[in-house]
Amino acid sequence: MGAAGSKLEKALGDQFPEGERYFGLENFGNTCYCNSVLQALYFCVPFREQLLEYYSSNKNGVDAEDNLLTCLADLFTQISSQKKKTGVIAPKRFVQRLKKQNELFRSYMHQDAHEFLNFLLNELVDILEKEAQAAKNDAETSSPSEKTANGPKNPQANGVKKEPLVTWVHKNFQGILTNETRCLRCETVTARDETFFDLSLDIEQNSSITSCLKNFSSTETLNAEDKFFCDKCCSLQEAQKRMKIKKPPHILVIHLKRFKYIEQLGRYKKLSYRVVFPLELKLSNTVEDADLEYSLFAVVVHVGSGPNHGHYVSLVKSHNHWLFFDDENVEMIDESAVQTFFGSAQEFSSNTDHGYILFYESLGAGNKS
């Protein structure tokens, strides 16, 4: 890797970004699903900065038990504080912790990168919420003046639900979807909100992210067996339903549903469809109908023809350069190479490298990459 590292340094030359580090990650037997996602998260600059900040201000708890958050923070700190600009790091502690924590990732079988990303973000949130609750309880027990003599510690005034904690993970990745259902008899609209860390989109051959997002928010009619119970009419009625983005996230993660269960085959099949993902994305299916601009900064790519085997690599944009991360190897690629990962226009193609998870950063708050 020394040679590959110096090759990358030579390729970037004077343009090597000040203070940036480009390190490959060692593979511990089919851990490419983990490595590819970790690289995408490392180059999600706001997330990285907040994780490093969290770690430096919480390091004093030396005897604190290892968890996925401390292992991830330790790995990112290790990378960012390397003296060399390029090289390879073994994310051993993180992978061991991951396997200890979740039996799903224990085997040497091919794992799903999207499942891993989902598990990791939810796990980080759980850890941060538990820490915040523990700190709150400590504060309450240490200040006797606040003790509630005649009631519970966390009174819920008039049954008002306490606001859920918003962590820095939420601030980066969480968006809100609203599910609107309109009764076709009385025209009453019922809206239900739900939060998301990523959007999973159905895909079609020769389509684009924009068309997949349109389909995601298209109006569906509920009739026959699928009628909707309207509270106002007090009966089952025909209705129209659609999903819209009520609060777009700062980091928009899009998962393309490339693995589809085929009833006749009794198994999953990989869809190699060509789905164009632009470098700049206008998000238009929002409640406000305002076009929001996003910029692509990472792509997790699935390499292989089937769902149960294959490999994962990632493409990352850092300081206006595109880089290709394949476990230990890191190389510079041209921006135009990104389009070779859209997918195949024909069903049987020799190209099996397809964009699977896309990471976009909102341009609203100024893009740092």
As annotated, the active-site residues are 32, 311
Helix, strand and coil content of the chain, in percent to the nearest 5, comes to 35, 30, 35
* DSSP code at position 63: T
Q: What's the CA gap between 47 and 84, in Å, rounded?
A: 23
Residues in CB range of 227: below 8 A, 6 or more apart: 236, 237, 238, 239
Rounded CA-CA distance 244/220 in Å is: 13
Tokens of 245: 């983005």
Contact 359, 365 (CB under 8 A): no
CB 353 within 8 A of CB 301: yes
CB 206 within 8 Å of CB 272: no
Amino acid occupying residue 129: E
Q: Give me the helix-helix angle, 32-42 and 92-101, nearest 10°.
A: 110
Which of 9, 124, 11 is closest to 76 using CA atoms?
124
Q: Find the helix or strand (DSSP H, E) in which 100 lies.
A: helix 92-101
Nearby residues of 288 by Cβ (< 8 Å), 6 or more positions away: none
